[in-house]
Structure 1
Amino acid sequence: MLLRWAAAIGAAVLLVGVVEFLAVSRIVEQRVLAQTTAELSRSVRGVEELLRRPDAQSGTAQADLLDRLDDVRRLRGARHVTLHGPGGAVIASVGRVDHAPDAAAIREVRRSGRATARVDRDGRGADERIVHEHLVPVRAPGGPMVLAVDMPSDLVQTLLADLRRLHGAGLLVVAGVAVPLSFALGGWWLLRDQRRDQRSADTDALTGLLGRRPFAPALRAALAAPEPDQWALALIDLDDFKYINDRLGHRHGDRVLRELADSFQHLRETDLAFRIGGDEFAVLLPGVDEQQAASVLERARAAFTVAQLDVTMSIGVASAPTGGAVDPDELWERADAALYEAKRRGRRQTVLFASIAEGVAVTADKLAATQDLLTGDHGFGVVFQPIWDLAQGRVLGHEALLRLPVDAPLDGPSEALRLADRLGCAPLLDALGREAVLQRVADCAWYGLLFLNMHPASLRTLRVADLVADVEAAGLQASEVVVEVTEQADLDRAEDIRALKSLREAGFLLALDDLGAGNAGLRALGNIDFDVVKLDRAVVGRSGIDPAADATLAAARMFAARTGGWVIAEGIETAGDLRSFHATHDPNLVSPRLGGQGYFLGRPAAVPRSILTRLEASLPNPG
Structure 2
Amino acid sequence: MRFRSTSWMHFSPLYVSDSFDAVSAFFVSNPEATLCPIVDRTGKPVGFVSLQAFQRLISNPFGYALNQKKGVAGIMDRNPLVMALSEDAATVFGSIRDKSDLLTNGLILIHEDGVYAGCLNALGVFHALTEIHASMLTDLQAEIEERERAERKIRQLADTDPLTQILNRRAFVREVQSLVEQGAPFMCALVDLDRFKPLNDRYGHAIGDRVLKVLASRLSEMEGCQFACRLGGDEFAFVLGGDGALALDMAAHAQSALLSPIETELGLVSVGASIGLAAFPQDAADETSLMYAADKAMIRIKSEGGGIAAFDRRQDMSDMGAEEFDKTIIGAVKDNRFQPAVQPILDLRTHMIAGYEVLARWPDSGFSRQPSPKQFMPAVERLGLIDSFFWSMLNQALRWLPDGTSFLSFNVSPSQLTSHEFADNFLNALRRHGIPPERIELEITENVLFRNIDTSKQVLGKIVGAGVSLALDDFGTGYSSLSLLEELPFNKVKLDKSLLGKKSDSGVLPKVLTGSLKMCREMNLISCAEGVETSWQLEQLATRNCDLIQGYLIGRAVLCKEMTAPDLNVRAG
Give TM-score, length-normalised by structure 1. 0.48
1:320-335 maps to which residues of 2 (within 5 A)? 320-322=279-281, 324=285, 326-334=289-297
The CA distance in 2 between the partners of 1:259 and 1:559, in whole Å, is 35
Aligned match of 1:499 in 453, 456, 467?
Answer: 456
Q: Residue type of the partner of 2:331? A: T
Q: What residue is the counterpart of 1:535 in the other structure?
A: 495
1:499 maps to a residue whose letter is S
Q: Within 5 Å, give how 1:283-362 maps onto structure 2.
A: 283=238, 288-289=242-243, 291=246, 316=275, 318-322=277-281, 324=285, 326-334=289-297, 353-354=309-310
SS at match of 2:342: strand
2:427 is aligned, of 468, 482, 488, to 468
Cα deviation for residue 615 of structure 1 reads 0.5
Distance 1:499 1:608, change over 3 A: farther
Alignment of 1:390-429 (within 5 A): 390-405=348-363, 407-408=366-367, 409-420=369-380, 424-425=382-383, 428-429=385-386
| Equivalent position SS for 1:331 | helix
Equivalent residues of 1:497, 1:527 under 8 A apart: no
Asked if the contact 2:329–2:379 (Cα under 8 Å) also holds between the matched residues in 1, the reply is: no
1:490 aligns with 2:447: yes
- In the aligned structure 2, how far is the partner of 1:466 from the partner of 1:254? 33
Say if 1:384 and 1:400, in contact at 8 Å, map to a contact too.
Answer: yes
Answer yes or no: is the 8 Å Cα contact 2:475–2:495 preserved in 1.
yes
Helix, strand or coil at the partner of 1:466 = helix
1:439 maps to 2:400: no
**Deviation of 1:482 (Å):** 0.4
Gaps of 5+ in 2: 1-153, 258-262
2:196, 2:271 within 8 Å by CA — same for their partners in 1? no
Larger Rg: 2
The reply on whether 1:515 has 2:475 as its aligned counterpart is: yes
Note if contact 1:335-1:353 (Cα within 8 Å) is conserved in structure 2: yes
Q: Which moved more, 1:457-466 or 1:290-299?
A: 290-299
- Counterpart code for 1:450: L
For residue 502 of structure 1, give the secondary structure of its aligned residue in structure 2.
helix
Q: Work out the CA distance in 2 between the residues paired with 1:276 and 1:479.
A: 49
Equivalent residue of 1:276, what SS?
Answer: strand
Q: Is residue 2:555 matched to residue 1:597?
A: no
2:544 to 573, 584, 589: 584
Structure 1, residues 79-134: CA drift from partner, whole Å, max 9, x if none? xxxxxxxxxxxxxxxxxxxxxxxxxxxxxxxxxxxxxxxxxxxxxxxxxxxxxxxx
Deviation per CA, 1:237-290: give whole Å up to 9, x if none.
Answer: 89999989999995996899599689969999x9756543356544467x7548
Partner of 1:384: 342
Q: SS at the partner of 1:530? A: coil
Aligned partner letter, 2:493: V
**Alignment: residue pair count:** 392
Instruction: Specify whether residues 495 and 436 from structure 1 end up closer, same or farther in structure 2 by C-alpha distance, changes over 3 A only.
Output: same
* Change in 2 beyond 3 A, CA 1:467/1:555: same
Deviation at 1:451, TM superposition (A): 0.7
Partner of 1:276: 231
- In structure 2, relative to structure 1, the CA distance for the partners of 1:218 and 1:332 (3 Å cut) is farther
**Contact preservation (8 Å) 1:235, 1:336:** no
Amino acid in structure 2 at the alignment position of 1:441: L
- Counterpart of 1:549 in structure 2 is 510
Q: Is the 8 A contact 1:206 1:254 kept in 2?
A: no
Structure 1 residue identity aligned to 2:359: L
Unaligned runs of 5+ in 1: 1-196, 303-307, 345-350, 586-591, 618-623
> Share of identical aligned residues, percent?
22
User: What TM-score results when the alignment is normalised by the length of structure 2?
Assistant: 0.51
| Counterpart residue type for residue 233 of structure 1 | C
Secondary structure at the counterpart of residue 365 of structure 1? coil
Q: Deviations over 1:319-342 (max 9, x none)?
A: 42255474532223446778999x
Question: CA separation in 2, counterparts of 1:537 and 1:252?
Answer: 33
Asked if 1 retains the 8 angstrom alpha-carbon contact of 2:269 and 2:451, the reply is no
* CA contact 1:398–1:450 (8 Å) conserved in 2: yes
8 Å CA contact 1:601, 1:615 repeated in 2: no
Q: Residues 482, 608 of structure 1: CA spacing in aligned structure 2 closer, same or farther, 3 A cutoff?
A: farther
Instruction: Please give the alpha-carbon distance, in whole angstroms, between the structure 2 residues aligned to 1:570 and 1:385.
Output: 11
- Return the alpha-carbon distance in structure 2 between the equivalents of residues 255 and 381 of structure 1: 35
**1:492-531 Cα shifts (integer Å, max 9, x gaps):** 5562464255224223311122334566544543433322
Q: Distance in 2 between matches of 1:247 and 1:512?
A: 25
Distance in 2 (alpha carbons) for counterparts of 1:441 and 1:429: 18
- CA contact 2:228–2:238 (8 Å) conserved in 1: yes
Distance 1:332 1:428 in 2: 24
Matched, 1:451 2:406: no
User: Could you tell me how far 1:469 is from its partner in structure 2?
Assistant: 2.6
2: CA distance between counterparts of 1:296 and 1:393? 44
- Counterpart residue identity of residue 381, structure 1: Q
| Alignment partner, residue 373 of structure 1 | 329
Q: 1:362 to 1:514 in 2, by over 3 A?
A: farther
Distance 2:455 2:317 in 1: 34
1:564-575 to 2 correspondence within 5 Å? Answer: 565-575=525-535
Query: Contact 2:534/2:553 (CA < 8 Å) preserved in 1?
Result: yes
Conserved in 2, the CA contact under 8 Å of 1:573 and 1:598?
A: yes
Q: Is the 8 A contact 1:386 1:608 kept in 2?
A: no
Cα RMSD of the aligned pairs, angstroms, is 5.7
